[in-house]
Structures are given as structure tokens and as C-alpha cells.
Homo-oligomer: A and B are copies of this chain.
Amino acid sequence: MTWIGIDLGGTKVYGVVVHGEKIKKDAKRKTPTSGGPDAVVDTIAAVIQDLGGIEGADGVGIGAPGAVDHEAGVVRQAPNLAGWQENNVPVGSLVSKALGGVAVFVDNDANAGTLAEHKRGAGRGADHVLGVWVGTGVGGGLILDGHLRRGPTGYAGEIGHTVVTQGGRRCGCGQVGHLEAYAGRASMEREARERAAQGTTNKLVELAGDGRMTSSVWANALDARDPVAIDLIDGAVRALGVAIANAVTLVDLDVMIVGGGLADRLGPTFVGRIEQSAREQVFAHGSAARVVPAALGDQSGALGAALMAAESA
């Protein structure tokens, strides 16, 4: 059977055609930053046309950044999509309508990525898997007993918003002490700029200028042994170690997969340090739980969306 998977990201809409074990084709377009959900739906439909249209496809899966009601195909909130202020957008039925009625399934992008790594990547063969996606924010997905756990509200897996330090650093969501406040790129950028404003000039701000502090900026500042970059990445490693250890202690897991833009750029050394930090803090010392880098790179979200659609149909 043939499934189309769409990774709806903050900067691009990336689509793949999946047939059996193979990705047959891919295509991408820029995510519109104005025009709201309608413009995004049009772009998704255009990417699917670029892929050859829906003829011969059994359905479409979409991984969306934000809170998703999978059952209803609704994106409740998508704070990281520019120009998308609307709540409760029925993306599934809108895309289906634009494509003439094909079956469309929607899930959170971190869930989709975790599903892909579980079925075809670094989590192959494991039954209890946590995916941790370190990019602008920190997303997560949870596989228990071989199945994606969505939970009664659909928010399961949000490890980025678990507390690692009571009364700690302010998170983008407004709460304090969350993992994302220490390991999300946007929050680390805020911290680096604040330190510069307070007189601790650093390579990060120098390299980024007025632009976004990309994953490459972080990698280059670390290579240059910039003390602020080292300190903030050390903090991210420790926070990821704590949050991952907590997940293992509470839920009991086999494999934790760390991926996403920042983790992919910093590579296996970064992930190895997170494993060491987590291992030192896991209560069940007999646990053979491993922390490994994601294996599918940029394609995990779109591939996972296709696999999610196949499972949901």
C-alpha cells in the first residue's frame, strides 16, 4: 500500500510517498508565514501535487507542530507556526476536502517522528521507547508495549514541559524549571543574548548577529570553545539527563532516542553525554536502558506521518 506523509514544520512543508519499506519520492515547499491555516492547507495540497497527487495513495498523514486531537484530526494550537493564531483548526477535513475526499490523519510531529524511529530507525525492535526532539523547543513521543501512547487528552509524551528544577529558569510556555527552558534552542538563545546584554559577550551572539541562533551557530561556538556556549550546552545535557532519567524511573523504558535539529547537528558526542548523565541518575541501576541518536535525520517526521496514517486507517 502507498501512503503520503507530510511534516508540517515552522520553516518548510516536507512530504514523502511511502510504499512498503521504501520512500519513493519527496518534495518540499516553504511554510507560508501569513494567510493562516488556509494558506498552510493550500501549501500542503501543493506539496502533494508535487509528489504526483493522491492518485494511487491510500491516505495522507500529517505531523503538525503543537497540540493535536488525533481522533478528530484537529490542531488545537500551533504556537510555533507564524500567522497561525487560530485554535481548533480541523486540518484533517480541510486537507481532505482540498484533495477531493482522501482519508487524512493528523498527529503531533514529535509523535510522528518517534513512530518512524520506532518502526524504521534507532528504536527498531524495542517495545518501550521515548523520542526526545531537541530543536527550537523540546518535543517528545512515547511508545509503550509497542504502541504510541496518546493518553486521554492526547498530550502524552510532552517531556519538554516536565520540571527538572523547581523554581528554575523560565520556559517559553510561562512555567518555570521545564526541560525546554534549559535544552530548547529558543530558550538557550534568550539566555545567551541576556548574558551578552549583561556584559558577558559571547561567540553565539557574535555569530548570529540579528539573525536566528541556528544549530550551526551553536556547533561553531562550541568548536571555538566559547565559555557561554559550553556552559549552556552543559546545562542542556544535565537537564536532558534528569528528564530522561525521570521518564525511565516512572515508566520503565528500553530505548530513548534523541533527535531534532540541534541534536542532529551536535551529533553522537552530545547524545553520549546525555546518556551518561541519565545513567547516573536512574534509580533502577539494573536498567539496561540506552540513550541513542535518532537514525532517520530530517525524514523522520514525514515518514512517521505516513506510518501513522497507515496505522490509523
Decide if A128 touches B144 in the complex (CB within 8 Å).
no
Once A142-B251, A164-B163, A166-B164 are accepted as A-B contacts, the answer to whether A284 and B153 lie under 8 Å apart by CB is yes
**Besides A157-B250, A158-B250, A251-B251, 20 new A-B residue pairs in contact (Cβ under 8 A), listed by A number:** A127-B152, A128-B152, A140-B250, A144-B144, A151-B253, A152-B252, A152-B253, A153-B286, A154-B252, A155-B252, A156-B250, A158-B249, A159-B250, A162-B245, A162-B250, A163-B164, A163-B245, A165-B165, A166-B242, A250-B251
Decide if A155 touches B246 in the complex (CB within 8 Å).
no
Decide if A283 touches B161 in the complex (CB within 8 Å).
yes
Decide if B283 touches A152 in the complex (CB within 8 Å).
no
Q: Which residues of B contact A128 (CB under 8 A)?
A: 151-152
Residue of B nearest to A238 (CB): B166
Chain A residues 276-298 with CB under 8 Å of chain B are: 281, 283-284, 286-288
Q: Does A173 contact B (CB under 8 A)?
A: yes
Some 27 contacts from A to B, beta carbons below 8 A apart, are A67-B284, A140-B250, A142-B250, A142-B251, A149-B251, A150-B252, A151-B252, A152-B252, A152-B254, A153-B287, A154-B252, A155-B252, A155-B287, A157-B250, A157-B252, A161-B283, A162-B246, A163-B164, A163-B245, A163-B281, A164-B166, A175-B281, A175-B283, A177-B242, A178-B283, A247-B250, A251-B251
Give the docked Cα–Cα distance between A166 and B164 (Å). Answer: 6
Q: Does A258 contact B (CB under 8 A)?
A: no
Residue of B nearest to A67 (CB): B284
Give the docked Cα–Cα distance between A239 and B158 (Å). Answer: 19
